[in-house]
């Protein structure tokens, strides 16, 4: 039986207690940051891809948020989208600025409060923006990876309408630079796994749950197997979907800095009305460890969709070819005490 949306999210979150330190090659000293040690560390995120199914679609988002002092973290989050189809072009982009204040920096869980401001624009529309506040807790699992729980309030502004939103976010954040600058001393092997977690529980304007996660243990230094799942559920209309993708990956462990890899995958997109869209394909790419516990993956993906009948009508989607760059976090598993 396939997992439901709640089971998928629960499985990802229950994996958190076994995340104790970064991967074997990483420093295994206590993860609790000292006051002077966080300065210079920067929360970094990256997700960029270019795909050509029936049209061209380029999307990218990133975050750079360094600790500028023991008590202050400031950053910027740019994002862009460019779509081209039949000679018609569409562009959207914007940037957000954040600032977080940490009143205490000498404990395992670091509470904070902060502010947010964003501005953006898009083709065929006027500019838009948002401002708001956030409060949360940050816990460093290793010098390069932190777990973050954050409550957010935003007021969105546009030319014709304004609305408010509030969310609870749960994420694993990669950190680079400063104390996170630690080289890889050995390649990952059995007992090491890639893991990414994201959860967003929206309270307004709609009651929604969005979640995604990846769990991919290494079987040997050159073989890895894993599963990636995403789920979206709208409580107001009792409707949603979830995706599952199983993959196996092989690395060519010739150098710790650059690891060529190739993998194959099968995936399914499940709708609440028992309709399913299936796909399969392969990837080839390169992995580079930016620091112990954080890897940059650059991959070319080919995906082919199986013909499915949607509401009785046969549908065939064209194959998709995608180039994607992402960051992933890596851990060593150990028994929870």
Q: Give me the residue spans of the domains in the chain.
A: 1-27+192-337, 37-181
Residue 211 above 70 pLDDT?
yes
Distance CA(163)–CA(299), nearest Å, equals 38
Question: What average pLDDT does range 69-78 have in this prediction?
Answer: 96
Residue 286 above 70 pLDDT?
yes
For 16-20, 89-93, 126-130, which range has the lowest pLDDT when averaged over its residues? 16-20
Q: Do domains 1-27+192-337 and 37-181 have the same CATH topology?
A: yes
Q: What pLDDT score does 95 carry?
A: 96
- Higher-confidence position of 10 and 307: 307
Distance CA(211)–CA(231), nearest Å, equals 5
Inter-residue contact 48 to 234 (CB < 8 Å): no
The string of pLDDT tens digits covering residues 297-313 is 999 999 998 866 555 55
Q: What pLDDT score does 210 carry?
A: 95
1-27+192-337, CATH topology level: Porin (2.40.160)
Name the pTM for this structure: 0.84
Q: What pLDDT score does 313 carry?
A: 59
- The separation between CA 107 and the C-alpha centre of its own chain, rounded to angstroms, equals 26
Question: What average pLDDT does range 288-301 have in this prediction?
Answer: 94
Tell me which H or E stretch contains 7. helix 5-14
Distance CA(288)–CA(295), nearest Å, equals 6
Q: Please give the full DSSP string across 249-301, using - where no structure is assigned.
A: EEE--S-SS-EEEEEEEEEEEEETTS-EEEEEEEEEEEEEEEETTEEEEEEEE
Question: What average pLDDT does range 274-279 have in this prediction?
Answer: 80
Using CB atoms within 10 A of its CB, is residue 66 exposed (0-12), middle (13-18) or buried (19+)?
Answer: buried
pLDDT, mean over the chain: 85
Residue 25 above 90 pLDDT?
no
37-181, CATH topology level: Porin (2.40.160)
Count CB atoms within 10 A of the CB of residue 195. 22
Q: What pLDDT score does 74 carry?
A: 97
Q: What pLDDT score does 8 carry?
A: 42
For 7-11, 151-155, 186-190, 289-293, which range has the lowest pLDDT when averaged over its residues? 7-11
The string of pLDDT tens digits covering residues 212-246 is 999 999 999 899 999 999 999 998 888 888 899 99
For 5-9, 81-85, 300-304, which range has the lowest pLDDT when averaged over its residues? 5-9
Residue 33 above 60 pLDDT?
no
pLDDT band at residue 6 using 50, 70 and 90 as cut-offs: very low
Q: What pLDDT score does 308 carry?
A: 61
Distance CA(55)–CA(34), nearest Å, equals 50
């Amino acid at each position: 039986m396939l997992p439901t949306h709640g089971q998928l999210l629960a499985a990802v979150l229950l994996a958190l207690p076994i995340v104790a330190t970064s991967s074997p090659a990483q420093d295994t000293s206590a993860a609790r940051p000292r006051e002077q040690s966080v300065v210079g560390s920067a929360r970094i995120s990256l997700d960029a891809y270019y795909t050509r199914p029936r049209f061209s679609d380029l999307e990218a988002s990133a975050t750079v948020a360094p600790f500028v002092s023991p008590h202050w973290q400031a950053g910027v989050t740019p994002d862009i989208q460019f779509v081209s189809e039949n000679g018609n072009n569409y562009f959207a982009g914007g940037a957000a600025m954040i600032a977080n204040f940490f009143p205490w920096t000498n404990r395992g869980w670091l509470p904070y409060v902060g502010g947010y401001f964003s501005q953006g624009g898009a083709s065929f529309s006027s500019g838009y923006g948002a401002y708001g506040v956030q409060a949360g807790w940050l816990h460093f699992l290793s010098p390069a990876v932190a777990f973050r729980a954050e409550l957010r309030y935003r007021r969105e502004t546009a030319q014709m309408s304004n609305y408010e939103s509030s969310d609870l976010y749960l994420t694993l954040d990669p950190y680079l630079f400063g104390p996170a600058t630690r080289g890889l001393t050995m390649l990952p092997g059995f007992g090491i796994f890639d893991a990414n977690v994201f959860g967003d529980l929206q309270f307004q304007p709609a009651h929604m749950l969005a979640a995604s996660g990846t769990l991919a243990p290494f079987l040997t230094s050159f073989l890895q197997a894993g599963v990636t799942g995403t789920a979206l559920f709208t409580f107001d209309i009792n409707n949603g979907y979830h995706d599952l993708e199983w993959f196996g990956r092989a690395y060519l462990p010739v150098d710790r800095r650059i690891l060529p890899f190739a993998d194959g995958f099968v995936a399914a997109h499940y709708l609440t009305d028992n309709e399913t869209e299936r796909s399969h394909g392969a990837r080839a790419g390169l992995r580079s460890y930016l620091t112990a516990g954080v890897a940059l993956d650059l991959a070319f993906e080919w995906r082919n969709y199986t013909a499915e009948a949607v509401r009785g009508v046969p549908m065939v989607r064209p194959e998709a070819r995608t180039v994607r760059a992402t960051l992933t976090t890596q851990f060593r598993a150990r028994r929870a005490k």
